[in-house]
Amino acid sequence: MRNLETSYMGIQLKNPIILGASEMSSEIESLKKAEQAGAAAIVYKTLFEEQIQLEDLQFDELKEEYNDIHAEMTSLHPDIDRSEIEYYLVKIRNAKESLSVPLIASLNAVNEVSWFRYARLIEETGVDGIELNLYQTPTSFDLDASEIERRQIEIVAEIKKQLSIPVSVKLSSDYTNILHFAKRLDEVGVDGMVLFNSFFQPDINIEKESHRRAFNLSKKGDYKQSLRIAGMLYSRINADVCGSRGVFNGEDVIKLLLSGTSCVQVVSAVYRQGLKQITEMIREVEEWMDRKGYDSIDQFRGKLSDSVINENDNLFIYKRAQYVDLILHSDTIFGNMEHRGF
């Protein structure tokens, strides 16, 4: 049997497939099924600061209902079952105690004080690591990109100082120069980076003329941007890189490993095909390694990264070579399309 072990954030994994943060990764039953299917680690459902703020507002509203107490009231206490943050912490602690694979928490905050407070509380649950979701929706015309990035780097640096568990950052693909930003994150000591996050985007119902919620699952091929950036980062930063977004089968996993990632996160594939897809991915990676004669992932990880290719062949496949090749051979490409009836 081939050795699929890898390391991410300094955490040893039995294989490179992690179940990413989602609704699936918040219930004990689903977590155990993911573990049985072969998931090497699980990222628990993300804690959003807005979720806590909403709960606090509801709490304040309920308290105000009891400002005018009178003799006919049946209760003197607000009807509040739990605090959202306390409920989350209890659930993630129970999840950690119920699993044998590593459990990574996920946090998405807005205010600096919230980042620090929630990160410390999460660490106390005993999780193996924490994933910080950096995401900045442009809402101000006066705030430039360098200021946004500076604030985010400072937050990550401070969290890294305050925690003893490994810290990773799940990145958006919208940074002007993702390589520069990744390098700055690496300099403040992050243990891992996830490429890339898939956030919900607004949509509009044109018949009702109203906004609607859109559940945006990744599509086949969405991994390619992660592959490109991972290939550029390999051997140039100390942090481990995890590929995400659009990873649907073993072939996608292998491609990302060849580009230099240490592991991958899967979500959409499991939503579409069930947890059994994790088992299938592992089987496909093992079969490919058998055919190629690889005994371990370390033997081929990063083999097709930018630094290795440039060192061996002086190519620029991760930069503009593919684009130029497409332009130079456009007549052949489009000729084949016409032949096929496109």
The per-residue pLDDT for 185 is 98
Q: Are residues 244 and 328 in the same domain?
A: no
Q: Name the residue with higher pLDDT: 214 or 295.
A: 295
Same-domain status, 192 and 294: yes
Give yes or no: residues 206 and 336 share one domain. no
pLDDT digits (tens, 9 = 90+) for 305-334: 999 987 666 556 676 555 555 555 555 544
Where residue 219 falls among pLDDT bands split at 50, 70, 90? confident
Distant-in-sequence, close-in-space partners of 85: CB < 8 Å, separation ≥ 6: 47, 52, 55, 118, 121
- Could you tell me the two tokens for 318? 């991760």
Confidence of residue 65 (pLDDT cuts 50, 70, 90): very low
pLDDT at res. 325: 53
Q: Tell me, what's the pLDDT at 287?
A: 97
Is 195 in a helix, a strand, or coil? strand
Residues 218 and 342 both lie in one domain: no
SS (H, E, C) 59-125: HHHHHHCCCCCCCCCCCCCCCCCCCHHHHHHHHHHHHHHHCCCCEEEEEECCCHHHHHHHHHHHHCC
pLDDT value of position 323: 54
Is the residue at 270 inside a domain? yes
Together in a domain, 329 and 224: no
pLDDT at 302 (0 to 100): 97
* CA-closest candidate to residue 132, choices 34, 245, 39, 9: 9
| Residue 12 counted as domain residue | yes
Q: 82 in the Ramachandran plot: left (φ > 0), alpha (ψ -120 to 50) or beta?
A: beta
Which has the closest alpha carbon to 225: 157, 291, 179, 284? 179
Does residue 90 surpass a pLDDT of 90?
Answer: yes
Query: Quick one: DSSP state of residue 44?
Result: P
The one-character DSSP state at 296 is: B
Residue 164 lies in a domain: yes
Task: State pTM to two decimals.
Answer: 0.85
Q: Is residue 192 left, alpha or beta, with left meaning phi > 0 and alpha meaning psi from -120 to 50?
A: beta
Per-residue b/e over 12-43, b at no fewer than 16 CB within 10 Å? ebbbbbbbbbbebbbeeebbebbbebbbbbbb
Residue 248 CA to residue 245 CA, distance in Å, equals 9
pLDDT digits (tens, 9 = 90+) for 274-312: 999 999 999 999 999 999 999 999 999 999 999 998 766
Query: Do 226 and 165 share a structural domain?
Result: yes
* Together in a domain, 227 and 336: no
CA–CA gap between residue 135 and residue 185 (Å, rounded): 14
- Asked if residue 326 and residue 191 are part of one domain, the reply reads no
Least confident range from 34-38, 46-50, 84-88, 95-99: namely 46-50
- pLDDT value of residue 143: 82
Note the pLDDT of residue 110: 85
Does 1 map to a domain? Answer: no
Residue indicated by tokens 């371990």: 296
User: Does 65 map to a domain?
Assistant: yes
Spatial contact of 47 and 64, defined as CB atoms under 8 Å apart: no
Using CA atoms, how far apart are residues 342 and 335, in angstroms rounded to an integer? 10
Residue found by looking up tokens 């081929």 in the block = 300
**What is the token pair recorded at 160?**
């890294």
Domain co-membership, 280 together with 338:
no
Within-domain flag for 131:
yes
Q: Using the predicted structure, report yes or no on whether residue 16 has a pLDDT greater than 90.
A: yes
Q: Which pLDDT belongs to residue 215?
A: 66
**Do 118 and 155 share a structural domain?**
yes
- What's the domain count of the chain? 2
Residues 118 and 220 grouped into a single domain = yes
Q: By residue range, what is the domain housing residue 232?
A: 6-304
Helical packing angle, 84-98 and 49-64, nearest 10°: 130
Q: Is the pLDDT of residue 77 over 50?
A: no
> The domain spanning residue 182 has which CATH number?
3.20.20.70
The residue ranking higher by pLDDT, 70 or 234, is 234
**Structure tokens that stand for 206 in this block:** 């044109």
Burial zone of 184 (CB within 10 Å; 0-12 exposed, 13-18 middle, 19+ buried): middle
Above 80 in pLDDT, residue 95? yes
- Mean pLDDT score of the chain: 85
Answer whether residue 92 is part of any domain.
yes
Task: Look at residue 74 and tell me whether its pLDDT is greater than 50.
Answer: no
What whole-number percentage of the chain has pLDDT above 90?
Answer: 63
For residue 139, pLDDT over 90 is answered with no
Average pLDDT of the segment spanning 162-167: 98
Indicate whether 80 pLDDT > 50.
no
Using one digit for the tens of pLDDT, what is the confidence trace for 143-156? Answer: 888 998 999 999 99
Question: Are residues 251 and 130 located together in one domain of the fold?
Answer: yes
Q: Between residues 71 and 11, which one has the greater pLDDT?
A: 11
CA distance linking residue 323 with residue 339, whole number of Å: 23
